[in-house]
Structure 1
């Protein structure tokens, strides 16, 4: 699957996601400083959950994210939370697109939405950064590592996000949440390794004497970052739909999954010659994050990765359910749904690896 070709750029707005451009144009005039039409709307190809649009005017470009139309699962597609977190983190000098306006009135375009600045740069859809010379790839990995470490050093209270999620018992609550979502979406069907993980994960949560609480992104990977056009620098981290307060090691382990995903599946690196590609090893990448966050190591890393693969499989299971119900936001939802069972099997192998230690 060529993820870059499938997800890069824009297309005509899909029929299921159309709205009255003139009404949006008027809202922008009333709520976004210095906005001036006329307005041209295109839809980004990428995005599995919240439809995302490029809004162009003669003088400036914007990005709009909205809730998808149709029947939605409770608590999903929390556009207002996305807007709140990017607004708060931007004030902490963390690299995000500048928040410009939130509309929770569904009468405007049919669902709630928000508008942010358009950040120009490069998005890399494959974790081995094929567009970058091998001699420069380590610098791009270091930029990602530095960015997630910087996020995990932010004090949620100081950022005005102290109530952005529930503190404590993060893994217990998350395993319960995603298990409930998986088990509750009957239209998407059941998967045997997922059923095993629903039982194994809550019984094997590492003991945390003093659980850390930080703002976590929830989907931190290379294709959710905009890099500088020519430099190994992250200009903006995108797609905060899954962000919350939680344990930073969960967030980092999700990012680290790229090392254990097979080539051809969600930008996996497993099976590639990392040294020849100029990419740091998993051990070196973990050590760099630990040095930046004051850790001596991550003893329960296999559990954290098993949990994250389970969580990702539950998200893909939800995509399959939306595909069945006809509300999937991406044209490539079917391809994602086909990866559900292999991903669930891979998650279970991580659990077995954790149990063997």
Structure 2
């Protein structure tokens, strides 16, 4: 079992400061969740660095609860109501998002807003090399991930009832501005030279053209539940960063796995892809393009640079929460150590586009 798989898989004791009043939660579920029947017991998933996530167990059915973390939060962060809305809408369109059961915006129930969804039984893979798969099946797992994100980007926004889920147009400019502000407005986490350079370079070099689709915002193998034995995606999780945006921003974020070292997250740099049965980056891009009717992806280096900057900004925010004592994961401190490495990687991608 890989280190990440061991660290983040399964459940454990509820972490200090993130306890839940089971009696109050049970009473709320009895009033708001169809067919709920206790008694209820609760464990906390080891993963979930942003929004604490819990497994709710009853004799009849298991559920998952995601909540805002307690403490001082940055504006617009941890929007569990947006997660709930997009999951509910996409599930209704046949996309593999969990069924939802209820949203509670009343902080008086468990201390922060939360929602409840189905507990989809399957496997979460925390290592992009898919170490438990065989050489013969790894390509099928990658194809399943590729198909799922392509299907997401082909969802009819109007039909799904998500036409007002975000602002259409100028996605890169708005996102670069957002993450630049969050970086600059979190002095607790400190400044990073490569981030400072990217804050200036990125908005001045956005490629022309625009598209709009539902975007996940954090699409990677460990935010999916795979079938217990088959290379199929049963559910896509962690929709906190979802919105209406540019599909190529979303896809290139997912594609970063090909340009990231294993130490940072689920990276494939250094892996022998042919020996593992994993498609090359070019093959993976071509499969996505076939599914979405594209001839290719121009400006891919810019998109990857933007996404590495964005991810560094997210982790910079985690560092700030660690310092303020509001980080949701026991492993957040280790993750927060990767800001400089990610920012340097982002700048190296920008240099491929001519940044100096």
Q: TM-score, normalised by structure 2?
A: 0.99
Q: Give the Cα–Cα distance (whole angstroms) in 2 for the partners of residues 326 and 21 of structure 1.
A: 24
Match of 2:302 in 1: 303
Match of 2:31 in 1: 30
Q: Give the Cα–Cα distance (whole angstroms) in 2 for the partners of residues 15 and 197 of structure 1.
A: 37
* Secondary structure, counterpart of 1:120 in structure 2: coil
Match of 1:20 in 2: 21
* Residue 250 of structure 1: how far off its partner (Å): 0.1
Match of 1:253 in 2: 252
Match of 1:42 in 2: 43
* Secondary structure, counterpart of 2:238 in structure 1: coil
* Residue 202 of structure 1: how far off its partner (Å): 0.3
* Residue 83 of structure 1: how far off its partner (Å): 0.1
Match of 1:318 in 2: 317
* Residue 264 of structure 1: how far off its partner (Å): 2.6
Q: Does 1:98 align with 2:99?
A: yes
Q: Give the Cα–Cα distance (whole angstroms) in 1 for the partners of residues 341 and 115 of structure 2.
A: 35
Q: Give the Cα–Cα distance (whole angstroms) in 2 for the partners of residues 212 and 155 of structure 1.
A: 13
Match of 1:75 in 2: 76
Unpaired segments ≥5 residues, structure 1: none
* Residue 259 of structure 1: how far off its partner (Å): 0.2
Matches for 1:181-330 after TM superposition, within 5 Å:
181-208=182-209, 211-330=210-329
Match of 1:176 in 2: 177
Runs of at least 4 residues of structure 1 off by over 6 A?
none
Matches for 1:45-60 after TM superposition, within 5 Å:
45-60=46-61
* Secondary structure, counterpart of 2:138 in structure 1: helix
Q: Give the Cα–Cα distance (whole angstroms) in 2 for the partners of residues 353 and 240 of structure 1.
A: 31
Q: Give the Cα–Cα distance (whole angstroms) in 2 for the partners of residues 96 and 42 of structure 1.
A: 22
Q: Give the Cα–Cα distance (whole angstroms) in 2 for the partners of residues 19 and 217 of structure 1.
A: 28
Q: Give the Cα–Cα distance (whole angstroms) in 2 for the partners of residues 287 and 56 of structure 1.
A: 42
Q: Give the Cα–Cα distance (whole angstroms) in 2 for the partners of residues 46 and 19 of structure 1.
A: 17
Q: Give the Cα–Cα distance (whole angstroms) in 1 for the partners of residues 244 and 83 of structure 2.
A: 13
* Residue 155 of structure 1: how far off its partner (Å): 1.5
* Secondary structure, counterpart of 1:165 in structure 2: coil
Match of 1:89 in 2: 90
* Residue 19 of structure 1: how far off its partner (Å): 2.4
> Cα RMSD (Å) of the superposition?
0.8
Q: Give the Cα–Cα distance (whole angstroms) in 2 for the partners of residues 187 and 166 of structure 1.
A: 30
Q: Give the Cα–Cα distance (whole angstroms) in 2 for the partners of residues 297 and 186 of structure 1.
A: 40
Q: Deviations over 1:281-336 (max 9, x none)?
A: 00000000000000000011000000000000000000000000000000001100
* Secondary structure, counterpart of 1:17 in structure 2: coil
* Secondary structure, counterpart of 1:115 in structure 2: strand
* Secondary structure, counterpart of 2:31 in structure 1: helix
* Residue 212 of structure 1: how far off its partner (Å): 1.1
* Secondary structure, counterpart of 1:304 in structure 2: helix
Q: Deviations over 1:37-86 (max 9, x none)?
A: 00000000001100000000011100000000000000000000000000
Q: Give the Cα–Cα distance (whole angstroms) in 1 for the partners of residues 198 and 77 of structure 2.
A: 22
* Residue 239 of structure 1: how far off its partner (Å): 0.2
* Secondary structure, counterpart of 2:103 in structure 1: strand
* Secondary structure, counterpart of 1:176 in structure 2: helix
Unpaired segments ≥5 residues, structure 2: none
Match of 2:148 in 1: 147
Q: Does 1:135 align with 2:131?
A: no
